[in-house]
Amino acid sequence: IERHSEDHFHWPDLDVDLTLDMIESPEKYPLKYK
């Protein structure tokens, strides 16, 4: 996992971007797929 800024992370193997808020409060970000 790469840290791009204070609160932004990127997981290149899965092509996933996360923020610190998403990690600390996942209930605010329901999982969805297209």
Q: How many CB atoms lie within 10 A of CB 29?
A: 12
Q: Which amino acid is at 29?
A: Y
Please indicate whether residue 10 or residue 31 has the higher confidence score (pLDDT). Answer: 10
Give the pLDDT band (50/70/90) at residue 34: confident
Mean pLDDT, residues 3-30 taken together: 95
Give the pLDDT band (50/70/90) at residue 33: confident
Whats the size of the chain, residue-wise?
34
